């Protein structure tokens, strides 16, 4: 009866979703899929660094925090990149009323 137990186990042991290799883009990447460039991802996602690989992440919507790049050179050092703001939005300093807010967040705002 040992062999039948193994057969039944076999199917479950396989990972349900094997990620396609990045150099073999069969379909557009969903959120969290590996990518090389933003064109590898479905609409509304961009390809951004996540640790030492790059994955598809959602493009930022209105009101979401964004990264303002003051110096172009710092871009490569980011471990967690954010996408750019969606079409028609700009990354601007959030004008807060509280003087205590020293974090000076940038958010995606309408032009």
77 contacts 71 by C-beta, under 8 angstroms: no
Could you tell me the fold of the domain covering 33-70+77-110?
Lipase, subunit A (2.10.80)
**Whether pLDDT at 75 is above 70:** no
Q: How far, CA to CA in Å, does 69 sit from each of 5, 7, 37, 60, 76?
A: 57, 55, 19, 15, 11
**Whether pLDDT at 60 is above 70:** yes
Residue spans of beta strands (DSSP E) within the chain: 45-50, 53-58, 89-93, 106-110
Least confident of 41-50, 57-66, 94-103: 94-103
Give the mean model confidence (pLDDT) for residues 99-108: 75
So what's the pLDDT on residue 95?
Answer: 75
- Domain range summary for the chain, segments of one domain joined by +: 33-70+77-110
Q: Tell me the β-bridge partners of 109.
A: 90
So what's the pLDDT on residue 2?
Answer: 53
Least confident of 10-14, 63-67, 81-85: 10-14
So what's the pLDDT on residue 79?
Answer: 87
């Amino acid at each position: 009866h040992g062999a039948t137990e193994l057969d039944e186990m076999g199917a479950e042991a396989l990972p349900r979703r094997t990620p396609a290799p990045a150099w073999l883009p069969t379909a557009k990447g969903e959120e969290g899929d590996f990518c090389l460039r933003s064109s590898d991802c479905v609409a509304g996602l961009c390809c951004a660094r996540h640790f030492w690989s790059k994955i598809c992440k959602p493009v930022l919507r209105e009101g979401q925090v964004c990264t303002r790049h003051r110096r172009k050179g710092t871009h490569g050092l980011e471990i967690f990149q954010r996408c750019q703001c969606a079409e028609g939005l700009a990354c601007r300093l959030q004008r807060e009323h509280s003087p205590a807010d020293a974090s000076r967040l940038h958010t995606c705002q309408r032009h």
